């Protein structure tokens, strides 16, 4: 009579090392990596399993928020009053700036109509959001915001704060989203020099932004700023990206330009997501 | 090799689950934010090196594969990143047990250090290629050295907990 193999006897489940299974699993892992890099399966799996990971994120948030709230409570009344006064002064100056801006926008529209140029697209809607924890996953820094698919956030939306461009929405979950910073090496944006004449593509380079090949024939000096051009139809035009901090010759024809970003994601807890 | 009693086995299984949950928790927290560094210990690599090398739980290749997939879903840059790292760590351990005698404690520690280094190099190389938000403030070599040192330190802490499961 044939003996029925028990689970213990199946070589896949025994503690004995089998080279065949080892090679098989290595091959399977490589196949998974290939498939994921091609079809982005991990993003989809994470979205499907967000009901498991969401409580973990809430747990980490709550423990950190508890300490933050504790710190906030210990702030004195005088300090808060001082902050309110400063904010009131800032609101006044912003209101004046806004009046000038409105006038300029109206003037720009009139000029465009007179010269038969197409209308500049403004963001359809803006979503104020807050940067929350987790700020890291595994060994890499991430920017998580408290707005997700349920709030209407979509992959690819530009993210800004009051100083300039922060990045772009990379992944969306039901309640939260992740932002890829403009410092990421895979980030690129079409930019325009603030004199409105020269276009360039700016890349992220870990700590700084870089224009790898900028023609030497074009004059550029330290402190010049670059803004989004709007040509890529991803970012609205006129958002500050960064300012030139170094110009070094790459060869006879091109210079390498290093830019300091206008804003760092860790400078503010509030950001704005644009529906453009 | 000493045969573990039932009590010790249960304690070690509990320890593994505890350390696994702890690793998930700390992988989402920037514990060293006050020094503004970009270095994060690889808690899961430390845990798997301990598990594989000291038989914290009864382990086989299928379990290693499944644990790898879970870790990938939780914190991986790409599906298969930690899976392949854990499988290779498992392979390294089996290879060393088969072909080398490991009588002294110093040699065991050296093997663990090499395993950690091996695991971190694999995970970092894959992160660098597939993670769009991976960046380091320092050169890659310095980053690897610091990562290996802090992860080895975490392994030592895990090891202390492991040794306590045997009691006095």
Chain B positions in Cβ-Cβ contact with residue A29 (cut-off 8 Å): 65, 68, 80, 83-84, 87
| Res. B101: pLDDT tops 80 | no
Other Cβ atoms less than 10 A from the Cβ of A93: the count is 9
- A23 touching B (Cβ < 8 Å): no
Question: For residue A265, what pLDDT is reported?
Answer: 67
- Higher-pLDDT residue of A68, A100: A100
Q: Which of B25, B87, B133 has the most A C-beta neighbours within 10 Å, making it the best mutation to test the interface with A?
A: B133
Chain B positions in Cβ-Cβ contact with residue A134 (cut-off 8 Å): 28-30
| Res. B39: pLDDT tops 60 | yes
Beta bridge partners of A200: A191
Q: Per-domain residue ranges for chain B?
A: 6-33+40-164
| Res. A3: pLDDT tops 60 | no
Average pLDDT over residues B122-138: 79
Cβ contacts from A onto B, under 8 A = 139
Chain A positions in Cβ-Cβ contact with residue B64 (cut-off 8 Å): 25
**Nearest-CA distance B100 → chain A (Å):** 16
pLDDT bucket at B83, cuts 50 / 70 / 90: very high
The per-residue pLDDT of chain A, averaged, comes to 82
Chain-chain contact of A133 with B124 (C-beta, under 8 angstroms)? no
Average pLDDT over residues A218-228: 89
| Res. A96: pLDDT tops 80 | yes
pLDDT bucket at B137, cuts 50 / 70 / 90: low
Query: Between β-strands A225-228 and A125-132, what pairing exists: parallel, antiparallel or unpaired?
Result: unpaired
- A39 touching B (Cβ < 8 Å): no
Chain A positions in Cβ-Cβ contact with residue B73 (cut-off 8 Å): 42, 45-46, 49, 53
- Higher-pLDDT residue of A52, B162: B162
Chain-chain contact of B73 with A42 (C-beta, under 8 angstroms)? yes
Chain B positions in Cβ-Cβ contact with residue A57 (cut-off 8 Å): 28
Question: For residue A216, what pLDDT is reported?
Answer: 87
| Res. A112: pLDDT tops 50 | yes
**Which B-chain residues 58-97 have CB contacts (< 8 A) with chain A?**
58-62, 64-65, 68, 72-81, 83-84, 87-88, 90-91, 94
Say how far apart CA B35 and CA A241 lie, in whole Å: 27
| Res. B26: pLDDT tops 60 | yes
Average pLDDT over residues A65-84: 74
Say how far apart CA A40 and CA A185 lie, in whole Å: 18
Q: What is the sign of the dihedral through the CA atoms of A51, A55, A57 and A61? A: positive
Range of the domain at A212: 122-276
Name the least confident of A28-32, B135-139, B155-159.
B135-139
pLDDT bucket at A1, cuts 50 / 70 / 90: very low
Say how far apart CA A213 and CA B65 lie, in whole Å: 45
Question: For residue B168, what pLDDT is reported?
Answer: 52
Chain-chain contact of A33 with B77 (C-beta, under 8 angstroms)? no
Chain A positions in Cβ-Cβ contact with residue B137 (cut-off 8 Å): 206-207
Chain A positions in Cβ-Cβ contact with residue B9 (cut-off 8 Å): none
Give the closest of A53, A60, A141 to B133, CB-based. Answer: A141
Q: Among all chains, which residue has been given the structure tokens 């998580």?
A: A144
Say how far apart CA B168 and CA B165 lie, in whole Å: 9
Give the number of domains in chain A.
Answer: 1
List % helix, strand, coil for chain A (3-state, nearest 5).
35, 30, 35
Do A123 and A233 meet the contact criterion of CB atoms below 8 Å apart? no
| Res. B67: pLDDT tops 90 | yes
| Percentage of chain B exceeding pLDDT 90 | 43
Q: Would you say residue A247 lies in a domain?
A: yes
Token reading at A58: 């809430």
Say how far apart CA A23 and CA A20 lie, in whole Å: 5
Chain-chain contact of B77 with A140 (C-beta, under 8 angstroms)? yes
| Res. A120: pLDDT tops 90 | no
Do B39 and B150 meet the contact criterion of CB atoms below 8 Å apart? yes
Q: For the domain that residue A156 is a member of, what is the CATH number?
A: 2.40.10.350
Q: Would you say residue A90 lies in a domain?
A: no
**Nearest-CA distance B89 → chain A (Å):** 11
**Nearest-CA distance A86 → chain B (Å):** 27
Chain A positions in Cβ-Cβ contact with residue B123 (cut-off 8 Å): 139
Question: For residue A13, what pLDDT is reported?
Answer: 55
**Which B-chain residues 2-31 have CB contacts (< 8 A) with chain A?**
24-25, 27-30
Average pLDDT over residues A20-31: 93
Average pLDDT over residues A149-170: 89
Tell me which DSSP letter residue A118 carries.
P
Say how far apart CA B44 and CA B57 lie, in whole Å: 15
Question: For residue A6, what pLDDT is reported?
Answer: 53
Do A194 and A225 meet the contact criterion of CB atoms below 8 Å apart? yes
| Res. A128: pLDDT tops 80 | yes
**Which B-chain residues 101-140 have CB contacts (< 8 A) with chain A?**
123-124, 126-127, 130-137
Question: For residue B138, what pLDDT is reported?
Answer: 73
ipTM of the complex: 0.89
């Amino acid at each position: 009579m044939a003996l029925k193999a028990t689970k213990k006897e199946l070589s896949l489940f025994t503690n004995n090392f089998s080279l065949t299974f080892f090679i098989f699993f290595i091959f399977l892992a490589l196949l998974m990596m290939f498939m994921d890099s091609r079809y982005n399966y991990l993003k989809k799996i994470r979205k499907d399993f967000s009901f498991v990971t969401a409580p973990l994120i809430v747990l980490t948030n709550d423990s950190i928020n508890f300490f933050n709230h504790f710190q906030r409570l210990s702030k004195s009344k005088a300090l808060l009053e001082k902050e309110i006064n400063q904010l009131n002064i800032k609101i006044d100056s912003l209101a004046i700036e806004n009046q000038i801006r409105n006038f300029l926008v109206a003037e720009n529209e009139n000029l465009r109509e007179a010269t038969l140029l197409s209308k500049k697209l403004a963001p359809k809607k803006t979503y104020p959001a807050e940067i929350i924890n987790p700020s890291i996953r595994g060994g890499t820094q991430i920017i998580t915001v408290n707005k997700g698919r349920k709030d209407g956030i979509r992959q690819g939306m530009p993210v800004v704060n009051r100083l300039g461009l922060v990045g772009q929405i990379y992944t969306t979950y039901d309640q939260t989203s992740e932002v890829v910073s403009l410092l990421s090496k895979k980030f690129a944006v079409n930019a325009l020099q603030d004199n409105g004449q020269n276009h360039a593509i700016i890349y992220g380079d870990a700590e700084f932004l870089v224009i790898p090949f900028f023609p030497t024939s074009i004059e550029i000096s330290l402190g010049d700023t670059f803004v989004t051009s709007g040509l890529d139809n991803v970012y609205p035009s006129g958002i500050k990206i960064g300012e030139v901090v170094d110009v070094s010759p790459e060869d006879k024809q091109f210079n390498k330009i290093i830019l300091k970003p206008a804003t760092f994601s860790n400078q503010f807890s509030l950001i704005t997501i644009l529906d453009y | 090799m000493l045969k573990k009693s039932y009590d010790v086995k249960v304690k070690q299984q509990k320890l593994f689950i505890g350390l696994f949950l702890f690793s998930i928790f700390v992988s989402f927290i920037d514990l060293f934010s006050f020094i503004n560094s970009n270095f994060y210990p690889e808690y899961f690599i430390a845990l798997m090196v301990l598990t594989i090398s000291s038989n914290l739980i009864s382990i086989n290749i299928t379990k290693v594969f499944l644990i790898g997939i879970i870790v990938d879903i939780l914190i991986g840059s790409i599906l298969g990143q930690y899976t392949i790292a854990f499988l290779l760590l498992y392979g390294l351990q089996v290879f060393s047990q088969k072909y080398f005698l490991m009588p002294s404690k110093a040699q065991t520690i050296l093997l663990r250090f090499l395993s950690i280094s091996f695991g971190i190099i694999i995970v970092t190389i894959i992160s660098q290629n597939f993670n769009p938000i991976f960046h380091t403030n320092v050169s890659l070599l310095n980053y690897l050295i610091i990562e290996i040192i802090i992860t080895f330190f975490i392994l030592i802490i895990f090891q202390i907990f492991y040794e306590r499961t045997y009691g006095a």
